[in-house]
Amino acid sequence: MKIVTIIGARPQIIKAAALSRAIKMQYSDRVQEVIVHTGQHYDDNMSQVFFEELGIPRPDYNLHVGSASHGVQTAKMIEGIERILLDERPDAIVLYGDTNSTLAGAVAASKLHITVVHIEAGLRSFNKSMPEEINRIVCDHCSTLLFTPTQAGFDNLVREGFPTNNEGPYTIDNPKVYHCGDIMYDNSRYFSTIADEKVDLLGSLGLTETPYVLATLHRDGNTDDPQRLQAILDAFLELSESIPLVLPMHPRTRKMVALLEDRSKTERLMKDDRIKIIEPVSFLEMTQLEKHAQLIVTDSGGVQKESYFFQKPCVIMRPETEWVEIVETGAATLADADTAKILKTAQQYLKQPPASFPTIFGDGHAAEFMLQKMIEL
């Protein structure tokens, strides 16, 4: 079977590592993978670092699309992906998550009648002002095989009319949905021990013996609204008075922080010894930061989940989440961009961490399950 895998943004490169690893270990005689990087993320620390560290094969193609408005970026991707699909004639295209690279792959492939496989299907925030929500819905409805990481993802698709007990042959009009666990859990399990053997970011930050909070912030709804961005940074400044905070900063966020009106606050933030603002880190470094943190504060989808994998409490800086099960267990709380709520929730979790983390994300073998279903298509 020949598959074309589309990657572009950081989390997709990371997710693709799990599938490529499973192909290499168990399916190399049955699955040929052609990797296409759209170039949506292009800084070395947002892209190249993951290939080297996670052993992902070099992309066969790079479209070098770069940053642009949604329309321009997605259009360039569709054009480039269509050309490659016409040349490569794969049996299926594999798409991850909900970025513009996912959307472009879904549109290009489905119009050429190429089978779409969507990994991380069915997630919904029920907030269509998020670009990701549009991307997910379009991709799911162009797909033939849909792999949902959670039960909520499966239930959402059933609610949207996807059949449950249907027989093959599967097509775009007779799609098959499998609830099979999360491919990111495969990765976190696999790299958890390797991280502490191979990197020592905590040592370099002087935090080996010191409790700290890990934070990430990049969602456009937070970064591109100065009031929300300032409210979140105010919470970080105040929280850091009681515990140091590490913030690997997404390039989008760095650009938007530089535009904030209150220069004195921004300078305080940038110079504050207790807030370690660093460049985006590698996946092994991130894994190490997550494993040893007391608490994680984030608006990232992936980091919310990893926080749960490593049994850390999580303050989610969004009004809602697709990962509803994490909130239902009490291991995470929605605090939006509300300074007081972020602080209060963080302090509560630091005082009293969640007691249990029931299984939500499968058994860490989602990639093998997906490959098996793909070759049975």
Longest dimension (CA), the chain: 63
**Element spanning 178, H or E:** strand 176-179
| CA 277 to centroid of chain Cα atoms | 21
182 binds, among ligand UDP, ligand UD1, none (CB under 5 to 8 A by kind): none
218 has catalytic annotation:
yes
ω into residue 169 within 30 of 0, thus cis?
A: yes
Do 361 and 181 contact (CB within 8 A), yes or no? Answer: yes
Q: With H, G, I as helix, E, B as strand and everything else as coil, classify residue 57.
A: coil
- Measured from the CB atom, the residue of 142 and 317 that comes closer to ligand UDP is 317
> Least CB distance from residue 11 to ligand UDP, whole Å?
4
- Measured from the CB atom, the residue of 90 and 302 that comes closer to ligand UD1 is 302
269 binds, among ligand UD1, ligand UDP, none (CB under 5 to 8 A by kind): none
- Measured from the CB atom, the residue of 31 and 297 that comes closer to ligand UDP is 297
> Least CB distance from residue 61 to ligand UDP, whole Å?
22
> Least CB distance from residue 57 to ligand UD1, whole Å?
20
- Measured from the CB atom, the residue of 15 and 176 that comes closer to ligand UD1 is 15
Q: Which residues contact 254 (CB under 8 A, 6 or more apart)?
A: none
Q: With H, G, I as helix, E, B as strand and everything else as coil, classify residue 215.
A: strand
* Spatial CA neighbour of 181 closest among 121, 117, 224, 110: 121
43 binds, among ligand UD1, ligand UDP, none (CB under 5 to 8 A by kind): ligand UD1
Do 205 and 285 contact (CB within 8 A), yes or no? Answer: no
> Least CB distance from residue 300 to ligand UDP, whole Å?
3
100 binds, among ligand UDP, ligand UD1, none (CB under 5 to 8 A by kind): ligand UD1
Catalytic residue among 37, 118, 218, 250: 218
Do 116 and 110 contact (CB within 8 A), yes or no? Answer: yes
* Spatial CA neighbour of 275 closest among 284, 283, 266: 266
- Measured from the CB atom, the residue of 48 and 174 that comes closer to ligand UD1 is 48
Alpha carbons 176 and 250: distance in angstroms, whole number = 36
41 binds, among ligand UDP, ligand UD1, none (CB under 5 to 8 A by kind): ligand UD1
Interacting residue ranges for ligand UDP, rule: CB under 6 A = 10-11, 14, 216, 218, 248, 280-281, 283, 286, 300-303, 306
> Least CB distance from residue 167 to ligand UDP, whole Å?
34
Do 329 and 358 contact (CB within 8 A), yes or no? Answer: yes
Q: Catalytic residues, which ones?
A: 218
